[in-house]
Amino acid sequence: MGLPSHVKLVEVSPRDGLQNLKSFIPTAQKLHLIEALSAAGLPVIEATSFVSPRWVPQMADCREVMEGIARRDNVVYSCLVPNLKGFQVACDAGATEIAVFAAASDTFSMKNTNCTVEESFERLEKVCNAARERGIRVRGYISCVLGCPYQGEVPVPEVVKVVEALDAMGCYEISLGDTIGVGTPAKAQRMVKQVAEVVPIGRLAAHFHDTYGQALANILAVLELGLSVVDASVTGLGGCPYARSASGNVATEDVVYMLDGMGIETGVDLQRLLEAGRFVRDTMGLEPVSRVFQALNRKSSVY
């Protein structure tokens, strides 16, 4: 199909980027990060997750975060919800868009949500139905599309099965997650091609972790198929509580730098994005792994 002229970036650092940290990040710092990301021009920011603090302590302030956002008209502030109870709390906190998640691996699903993939569909359908009744858009995530930390290779038909289920539930967009970052370009292309046979590629997103340094290459590979939505995390923050081998998400700075260099529009200001990264480093005390962040900060310190 050729490369898209515009790519929508979905910034996941306030949720996916922070959820695995053991030290609790103060609510005020989370809100400052969200504001800095908004100022950089990111069109979608996943702000928090309405999960049980017993399982993900970092998200214990989800309601305070959602209620405290200084919202901008041109930015969507979404949140992850695992079940109907989480959905109801999210709605009370002012959520206007939510995300639900399933896995392409039964083993990962059992570790993550204590149910099989098939059993998870019943829970998710209740959430999607409730969201539809309230006029709230739902985005779907699928974990382990290119490999599972417990069972290894995940057959593409298993990914397609979950995509079809989320599509039937009414998810407007489905994010394909390489949770442990084991994918390579050919595998990523093959998976997306098969998924795009059941859901239009314009409704698919890439969510690639950079464990083996393959994330940018994988993103480019699926952009060449016409995919035009990419999830990323400022400074490369991230990990997964249920996949110890997973490193951070692909860094937003690295994706923006690559796309800028290819003439692909994102609407994101790289310099402002670097300011958000400096806040992550200097105030939150988290060391950036973004190569672009490191290179541009070294360059600016020379002059």
Residue 150 domain flag: yes
pLDDT by residue for the chain (303 residues), tens digit each?
689 999 999 999 999 999 989 999 999 999 999 999 999 999 999 999 999 999 899 999 999 999 999 999 999 999 999 999 999 999 999 999 999 999 999 888 888 778 888 989 999 999 999 999 999 999 999 999 999 999 899 999 999 999 999 999 999 999 999 999 999 999 999 999 999 999 999 999 999 999 999 999 999 999 999 999 999 999 999 865 444 544 679 999 999 999 999 999 999 999 999 999 999 999 999 999 999 999 998 765 533
Output the six-digit token pair for 9: 């970036």
Q: Spot the catalytic one: 91, 128, 148, 240.
A: 240
Q: What is the CA radius of gyration of the chain?
A: 18
CATH number, position 239 = 3.20.20.70
Output the six-digit token pair for 168: 């039937």
138 bridge partner residues: 98
Contacts of 185 (CB under 8 A, 6+ apart): 214, 217, 218, 220, 221
Known catalytic residue at 240: yes
Amino acid at the residue 83: N
pLDDT of 31? 98
Residue 17 domain flag: yes
Residue 129 domain flag: yes
Residue 118 domain flag: yes
In order, the DSSP letters of the chain are ----SB-EEEE-IIIIITTT-SSPPPHHHHHHHHHHHHHTT-SEEEEEE---TTT-GGGTTHHHHHHH----TT-EEEEE--SHHHHHHHHHTT-SEEEEEEES-HHHHHHHHSS-HHHHHHHHHHHHHHHHHHT-EEEEEEE-SS-BTTTB---HHHHHHHHHHHHHHT-SEEEEEETT----HHHHHHHHHHHTTTS-GGGEEEEEB-TTS-HHHHHHHHHTTT--EEEEBGGG---BTTBTT--PBPBHHHHHHHHHHTT-B----HHHHHHHHHHHHHTS------HHHHHHHHHHHH-
Output the six-digit token pair for 289: 């792994």
Torsion, Cα 268 272 274 277, to 10 degrees, reads -100
In order, the DSSP letters of 114-132 are SS-HHHHHHHHHHHHHHHH
Contacts of 22 (CB under 8 A, 6+ apart): none
Q: How many domains does the chain have?
A: 1
With vertex at residue 293, the alpha carbon angle to CA 291 and CA 294, rounded to the nearest 5 degrees, is 65
Residue 21 domain flag: yes
What's the domain range around 167? Answer: 8-302
Residue 3 domain flag: no
Residue 2 domain flag: no
Does pTM surpass 0.85? Answer: yes
Residue 276 domain flag: yes
Burial class (CB in 10 A: 0-12, 13-18, 19+), 264: middle
